[in-house]
């Protein structure tokens, strides 16, 4: 027998996307639609476009290998996992899986809010493919891993979201499949618990089990995976050593322009009934729109938007994200007292500058958002702008290394002579 765990050959998956509405939610819609289109059959066919979520994807995974799937949102990573876990069928192509599969496509699969922690461990365990005897054996271990202790007999609807997630991951993490398919479960929970989950995946892989895992956490992919697959637009961009693929993938972010515009032609712009984002861009100190900044230049974020209805206590903000997903800082216009929040209808530009000599050389992303605190999120654009900071002209020269940390802050130092 070969040591192949997964073999994927020319896998494709297409969805039909209609003009305005192909889903007939009621029979009446279907009937009236069919009647209306009787006379113009050809027209209808032209209107129905096909969207390829995956196109001719082929790869092999050896047994015991840990493979990371990387790519932007909508690139097709999750579609691959869904096909491999038999939730959805491919349109063409074929995949072969040798071994028992466990898939974790979300946290808390099969959880019922009305049931207690104990009951949910059994239910979720069974849905994920465990036998009752197996759950019995691992029950204590699961409870300990989840750190929920005496809340075990409380309905999970009363749990805090942290407890819920911990319990859900604990159940999932104790599955013992030969092949584990994991989708972004690490994006949840506090930092401490995330570390624990990553540790658990590392453990699983040491037991010579195969793991395929989708993540936006590049440092985790580089650390945990031997190889990685970079998917873009439903096609494979690169397969290779995890560290190489991650590097190339991140480098590709550099080619993005320093500006994103949202025209009416490109679909609905981000926003709500109150605000509509028109553009977001990055400028250096000389006013050029760019994605590459010298350490001696500030990074100015500019957001151009229209206020559609008078909105009070509206906040615009961003989060500065490091290459491995760490949020370095978050800032909102309300923090500085610039916006009292109340803005009448009209077009606005809001700017914020990240000071020069603050960031160490490296790659960063900005997540942009706008909300009315505690009421509504108007838009949230993850990693909308990506930029690089390079050390070219600063006095200390190109000394960039990891040890220098993500940010540079000038702190007051003092040395006193205490005696001989």
241 makes contact with other proteins (CB under 8 A)? no
26 makes contact with other proteins (CB under 8 A)? yes
Distance CA 273, CA 40 (A): 36
**Smallest Cα–Cα separation from 64: which of 216, 147, 142, 179?**
179
Number of residues that bind other proteins (CB under 8 A): 47
- According to DSSP, residue 392 is labeled S
Distance CA 413, CA 260 (A): 42
Among 58, 72, 105, 238, binds other proteins (CB under 8 A): 105
Q: Which segment (68-76, 89-97, 191-199, 242-250) binds other proteins by CB under 8 A?
A: 89-97
195 makes contact with other proteins (CB under 8 A)? no
Q: What share of the chain is helix, strand, coil (3-state, %, to 5)?
A: 30, 35, 35
Q: Which segment (88-96, 204-212, 306-314, 335-343) binds other proteins by CB under 8 A?
A: 88-96
Q: Which is nearer to other proteins, 126 or 243 (CB)?
A: 126
Q: Which segment (101-109, 138-146, 226-234, 401-409) binds other proteins by CB under 8 A?
A: 101-109
CB atoms within 10 A of CB 36: 10
Tell me the helices (H) and strands (E) count for the chain, helix number first: 9, 18
Phi-psi region of 234 (alpha: psi -120 to 50; beta: other; left: phi over 0): left
Q: Going by DSSP bridges, is the β-strand pair 66-70/210-214 parallel, antiparallel, or unpaired? A: parallel
128 makes contact with other proteins (CB under 8 A)? yes
Q: Which two tokens stand for residue 298?
A: 């500030």
156 makes contact with other proteins (CB under 8 A)? no
Distance CA 321, CA 154 (A): 37
Among 32, 88, 393, 399, binds other proteins (CB under 8 A): 88
Q: Which two tokens stand for residue 275?
A: 């605000």
Least distance between other proteins and beta carbon 325 (Å) = 23
34 makes contact with other proteins (CB under 8 A)? no
115 makes contact with other proteins (CB under 8 A)? yes
98 makes contact with other proteins (CB under 8 A)? yes
Among 69, 103, 209, 275, binds other proteins (CB under 8 A): 103
- Cross-strand partners of 415: none
Which helix or strand (DSSP H or E) is residue 203 part of?
A: helix 191-206
Q: Going by DSSP bridges, is the β-strand pair 376-390/292-294 parallel, antiparallel, or unpaired? A: parallel
96 makes contact with other proteins (CB under 8 A)? yes
Q: Which is nearer to other proteins, 118 or 357 (CB)?
A: 118
Among 33, 43, 114, 144, binds other proteins (CB under 8 A): 114
Length of the chain: 420
Q: Which is nearer to other proteins, 50 or 403 (CB)?
A: 50
For residue 158, what are the contacts with CB-CB under 8 A and spacing of at least 6?
none
Q: Which is nearer to other proteins, 16 or 241 (CB)?
A: 16
Q: Which is nearer to other proteins, 92 or 326 (CB)?
A: 92
Three-class SS of residue 364?
strand
49 makes contact with other proteins (CB under 8 A)? no
Q: Using CB under 8 A, list all residues that contact other proteins.
A: 1, 15, 23-28, 30, 82-101, 103, 105-106, 109-110, 112, 114-115, 119, 122-123, 126-129, 131-132, 178
């Amino acid at each position: 027998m070969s040591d192949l765990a997964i073999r994927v050959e020319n896998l494709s998956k297409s969805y039909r996307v209609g003009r305005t509405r192909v889903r007939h939610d009621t029979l009446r819609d279907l009937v009236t639609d069919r009647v209306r289109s009787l006379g113009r059959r050809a027209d209808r066919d032209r209107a129905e476009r096909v969207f390829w979520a995956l196109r001719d994807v082929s790869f092999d995974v050896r047994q015991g290998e840990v493979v990371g799937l990387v790519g932007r949102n909508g690139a097709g990573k999750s579609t691959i996992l869904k096909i491999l876990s038999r939730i959805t069928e491919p349109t063409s192509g074929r995949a072969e899986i040798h071994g028992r599969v466990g898939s974790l496509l979300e946290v808390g699969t099969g959880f019922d809010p009305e049931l207690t922690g104990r009951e949910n461990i059994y239910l979720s365990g069974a849905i994920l493919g465990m036998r009752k005897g197996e759950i019995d054996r691992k029950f204590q271990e699961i409870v300990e891993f989840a750190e929920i202790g005496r809340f075990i007999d409380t309905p999970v609807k009363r749990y805090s979201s942290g407890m819920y997630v911990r319990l859900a991951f604990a159940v999932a993490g104790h599955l013992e499949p030969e092949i584990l398919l994991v989708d972004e479960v690490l994006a949840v929970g506090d930092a401490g618990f995330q570390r624990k989950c990553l540790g658990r995946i590392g453990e699983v892989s040491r037991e010579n089990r195969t793991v395929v895992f989708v993540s936006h956490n590049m440092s985790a992919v580089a650390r945990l995976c031997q190889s990685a697959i970079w998917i873009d637009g439903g096609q494979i961009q690169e397969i290779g050593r995890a560290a190489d693929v991650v590097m190339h993938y991140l480098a590709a972010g550099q080619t993005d322009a320093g500006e994103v515009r949202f025209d009416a032609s490109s679909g609905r712009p981000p926003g709500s009934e109150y605000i509509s984002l028109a553009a977001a861009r990055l400028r250096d100190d000389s006013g050029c729109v760019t994605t590459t900044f010298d350490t001696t230049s500030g990074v100015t974020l500019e957001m151009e938007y229209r206020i559609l209805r008078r909105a009070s206590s509206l906040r615009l903000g961003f989060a500065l994200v490091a290459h491995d997903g760490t949020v370095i800082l978050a800032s909102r216009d309300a923090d500085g007292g610039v916006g009292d929040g109340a803005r009448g209808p009209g077009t606005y530009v809001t700017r914020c500058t990240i000071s020069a000599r603050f960031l160490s050389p490296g790659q960063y992303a900005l997540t942009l958002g706008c909300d009315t605190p505690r009421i509504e999120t108007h838009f949230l654009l993850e990693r909308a702008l990506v930029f690089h900071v390079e050390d070219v002209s600063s006095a200390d020269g190109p000394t960039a290394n990891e040890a220098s940390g993500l940010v540079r802050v000038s702190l007051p130092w003092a040395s006193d002579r205490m005696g001989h």
